[in-house]
Amino acid sequence: MRILVWHVHGGWLEAFVKGRHEYLIPADSDGGRWGLERGGREWPVSVQEIDLAAIDPDSVDVVVLQRPGEIAAVAWALRRQPGVDLPAVYVEHDAPRIGVPFARHPMADQHTIPVVHVTHFNQLIWDTGSARTTVIEHGIPDPGRLDTGEREEMGVVVNEPVKRGRVTGTDLLPGFARVGPLRVFGTATEALPDALNLTGHGPGKEQLLIAGDVAAPQLHRQLSRCRLYLHLFRWTSLGRGLLEAMHLGMPVVALGTTETHRAVPRGAGLVSNDVGELQVFVRRLLDDPDDAYAMGLVAREAALERYGLGKFLNAWDELLAELGAGRRQHRQPSADAPMKIPMVSDHEANPSSAKESPPKGTA
């Protein structure tokens, strides 16, 4: 089938497009949020970048939504209403950012578009009312067991750690830097040493090694040389960096927040909200590479079983088949049961290649 889906979360999309379908990705030359291009990612030939304003409406079999504004964008461009005369699902990648535990999901209480959560925690914590929900956990393309643990360092993968601050546990890094060196990968990590003022007190900058933003193959090779993976996120859906590290065969030391307890099994490292306990355990692994290696094997086995790419793609095929997404539907929306389009808040449904702007959603 031909699936319309935006490039919103690159890691998730890279796994999703490895399925057996055709994938239509809206793209603009300016690379804005409503037309983000490949961004250097190597996608299979089944992926086609398209101009949403020029696409044949009948060429789309199903739309995979990821933002509320996409509903209005699709209805405007295709003259087909997602969930009414075009099969649709809505993928929720994130845990709610405000109003927990009363956060109301934008797709709550509608009955035409199922909501797919990427973790069980997200399904639990979002209030979706009477809307249908399901969980399809992350799928990770297996990079292979690359872990060597040759460096007596903690590996950390985090994007924009200064801007995101306590969300990503950035304030906890100096305490762990006193235990051993940290090698930090991700975007905007160059600002970390000055932001943490490591030269003013405690450990020096030599304890915080900035690797920066590197492509996935290089990241896997460099990260796997670290003795362990450190995951200090206080609030996140479930970091793909954590799951990739487990696939590499790295032991994990992590805060026990959101979905982490489910992802990291006993014997694969330590999950705890006692920061002191985590620091003691880090020192143990840094001092004992054999112990770290054995735990990394447990982590890899668990990751392959729960977050394998094949399991992920099979689950999506089952859901799409259930929706009848292979059959194009052309019925008009019922006058007495109109589809409610969630209010567009953070993003406008306005592809830059369009000759006219699509309408905003209505509450």
Q: Which residue from 189, 149, 151, 150 is spatially nearest to 173, judged by alpha carbons?
A: 189
- Domain extent at residue 90: 2-139+310-322
Same domain, 166 and 285: yes
Q: Which pLDDT belongs to residue 28?
A: 80
Q: At a CB cut-off of 8 Å and minimum separation 6, what does 358 contact?
A: 72, 73, 75, 76, 77, 349, 350, 351
Edge-to-edge strand ranges of the sheet holding 269-271: 208-212, 182-185, 151-157, 226-231, 252-254, 269-271
Q: Which two tokens stand for residue 257?
A: 């927040």
Evaluate whether residue 116 is within a structural domain.
yes
Distance of CA 53 to the CA centre of its chain: 27
Q: Tens digit of pLDDT per residue, the chain (363 long)?
A: 999 999 999 899 999 999 999 999 998 866 667 777 676 678 899 999 999 989 999 999 999 999 999 999 999 999 999 999 999 999 999 999 999 999 999 999 999 999 999 999 999 999 999 999 999 999 999 999 999 999 999 999 999 999 999 999 999 999 999 999 999 999 999 999 888 876 555 566 678 999 999 988 999 999 999 999 999 999 999 999 999 999 999 999 999 999 999 999 999 999 999 999 999 999 999 999 999 999 999 999 999 999 999 999 999 999 999 987 445 444 444 433 344 444 443 333 333 333 333 333 332
Q: Which two tokens stand for residue 248?
A: 């590499």
Same domain, 126 and 259: no
Q: Which pLDDT belongs to residue 200?
A: 54
Same domain, 179 and 264: yes
Q: Which pLDDT belongs to residue 261?
A: 96
Residue labelled with tokens 């999950």: 271
Cβ neighbours, 10 Å, residue 275: 14
Model confidence, pTM: 0.87
Q: Which pLDDT belongs to residue 336?
A: 38
Q: Which pLDDT belongs to residue 206?
A: 79
Evaluate whether residue 338 is within a structural domain.
no
Q: Count structural domains, the chain.
A: 2
Evaluate whether residue 22 is within a structural domain.
yes
Edge-to-edge strand ranges of the sheet holding 115-117: 47-50, 22-26, 2-5, 62-65, 88-92, 115-117, 133-135
Same domain, 66 and 161: no
Same domain, 128 and 179: no
Q: Which pLDDT belongs to residue 58?
A: 92
Strand (E) or helix (H) holding 73 = helix 69-78
Q: Which residue from 132, 142, 109, 137 is spatially nearest to 121, judged by alpha carbons?
A: 137
Q: Which pLDDT belongs to residue 352?
A: 36
Q: At a CB cut-off of 8 Å and minimum separation 6, what does 80 contact?
A: 57, 60, 74, 86, 330
Q: What is the dihedral of CA 120, 121, 122, 126, to 10 degrees?
A: 120
Indicate the length of the chain as a whole number. 363
Measured distance CA(87)–CA(344) in Å, rounded: 21
User: Reduced to 3 states, what is the DSSP secondary structure of residue 289?
Assistant: helix
Using alpha carbons only, give the angle 298, 299, 303 rounded to the nearest 5 degrees.
120
Strand (E) or helix (H) holding 227 = strand 226-231
Query: Which residues are paired to 157 by β-bridges?
Result: 185
Q: Which pLDDT belongs to residue 257?
A: 96
Evaluate whether residue 72 is within a structural domain.
yes
Q: What is the CATH number of the domain that holds 11?
A: 3.40.50
Q: What is the CATH number of the domain that holds 220?
A: 3.40.50.2000
Same domain, 194 and 123: no
Q: Which pLDDT belongs to residue 181?
A: 96
Evaluate whether residue 341 is within a structural domain.
no
Same domain, 274 and 286: yes
